[in-house]
């Protein structure tokens, strides 16, 4: 799988929404929308209403990351708003994982499962064959700008090995501190989708087009080092 980039829109400048979305629509692979309820994490960010507005101005896949205590209360409205992926935390769905996974699928959306840093991969073994995307948090959830948790590199490698050994089809995604300092490590470990926020994209330049070009240059330089180290 080629490497994909998913801007985290909680980090964008909402006063420049149209300008930034117009630029990102021709460059990004998908959009990452954080929905927080103030309970699962002590923050409140975007909403299903934001997704419905975004849906009117983009054809890109929209991924709704439900950092909420009761995802069952958000699945219907998020799907109806236009989300293509609905990503729920294993920590919140394991009471009714199969029912909620099938609820997402019944809406025609793809299923994402998210693991907090301290949550082991094995938690999702009963239903991993049903998911489309596995998101590994490399920071504790809830706030942008946290430092990368290096121990998560091992979990990414394990997720890739698990996929290959069992012929699963999920994409591996990393949420948290995807930037110049971590691109190479994450790519080497086997990550497919990079969620890029402040440090990985929006803080690189006030102009979103320049920021994107800087991000891609940095990423290409880092992954080129991998190819030099491990020539085919």
Residue 63 known to be catalytic: no
Query: Could you identify the residue written with the tokens 């091992």?
Result: 154
3-state helix, strand, coil in the chain (%, to 5): 45, 20, 40
The catalytic position among 34, 63, 132, 192 is 34
Q: 193-196 and 85-89 as β-strands: parallel, antiparallel, unpaired?
A: unpaired
144 is in an annotated binding site: yes
The whole-chain average pLDDT of the chain stands at 93
The catalytic position among 37, 63, 132, 175 is 175
Q: What is the pLDDT of residues 205-222, one digit of tens each?
A: 999 999 999 999 999 999
Q: What is the pLDDT of residues 36-94, one digit of tens each?
A: 987 787 788 899 999 999 999 999 999 999 999 999 999 999 999 999 999 999 999 98
Q: 133-137 and 171-175 as β-strands: parallel, antiparallel, unpaired?
A: parallel
Q: How far apart are CA 132 and CA 127, in angstroms?
A: 11
145 is in an annotated binding site: yes
CATH number at residue 210: 3.20.20.70
Residue 73 known to be catalytic: no
Domain ranges, residue 217: 4-229
Name residues whose C-beta falls within 8 Å of residue 144's C-beta, 6 or more positions apart in sequence: 8, 10, 11, 197, 198
Half-sphere exposure of 60 (CA within 13 A, CB side): 24
Q: How far apart are CA 35 and CA 223, in angstroms?
A: 31
Q: How far apart are CA 141 and CA 119, in angstroms?
A: 12
Half-sphere exposure of 35 (CA within 13 A, CB side): 28
Q: Structure pTM?
A: 0.94
Q: How many domains, the chain?
A: 1
38 is in an annotated binding site: no
């Amino acid at each position: 799988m080629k490497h994909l980039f998913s801007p985290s829109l909680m980090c964008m400048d909402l006063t420049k929404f149209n300008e930034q979305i117009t630029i990102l629509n021709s460059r990004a692979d998908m959009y990452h929308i954080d929905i927080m309820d103030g309970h699962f994490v002590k923050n409140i960010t975007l909403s299903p209403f934001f997704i419905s507005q975004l849906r009117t101005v983009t054809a890109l896949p929209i991924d709704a990351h439900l950092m909420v205590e009761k995802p069952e209360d958000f699945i219907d409205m998020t799907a109806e708003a236009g989300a293509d992926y609905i990503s729920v935390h294993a920590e919140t769905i394991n009471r009714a994982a199969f029912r909620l996974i099938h609820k997402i699928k019944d809406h025609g959306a793809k299923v994402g499962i998210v693991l907090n840093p301290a949550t082991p991969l094995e938690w999702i073994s009963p239903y991993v064959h049903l998911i489309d995307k596995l998101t590994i948090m490399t920071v504790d959830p809830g706030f942008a700008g946290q430092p990368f948790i290096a121990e998560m590199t091992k979990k990414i490698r394990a997720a890739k090995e698990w996929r290959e050994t069992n012929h699963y089809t999920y994409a591996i995604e990393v949420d948290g501190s995807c930037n110049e300092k971590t691109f190479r490590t994450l790519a080497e470990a086997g990550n497919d989708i990079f969620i890029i926020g402040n440090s990985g994209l929006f803080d690189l330049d006030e102009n979103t087009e320049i920021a994107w070009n800087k991000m891609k240059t940095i990423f290409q330089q880092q992954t080129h080092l991998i190819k030099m180290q491990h020539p085919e």
